[in-house]
Amino acid sequence: MAMTDPLGDMLTRIRNGQRAKKDSVVSPSSKLRARVLDVLEREGFIRGYSEESTGNRGQHPGLRIELKYFEGEPAIQHLARVSKPGRRIYSGSSELPVVRNGLGITIVSTPRGVLSDAEARDGNVGGEILAEVF
| pLDDT score recorded for residue 56 | 66
| pLDDT score recorded for residue 1 | 58
| pLDDT score recorded for residue 63 | 95
| pLDDT score recorded for residue 58 | 61
E strands, 23-102, are: 24-28, 46-52, 62-67, 69-70, 73-74, 79-81, 90-91
Cα gap 82→84, rounded to integer Å: 6
Run means of pLDDT, 10 residues per run, the chain, 134 residues: 88 97 95 97 97 72 95 95 96 94 96 97 97 97
Q: Determine the straight-line distance between the first and last CA of the chain, rounded to whole angstroms.
A: 32
pTM assigned to the model: 0.93
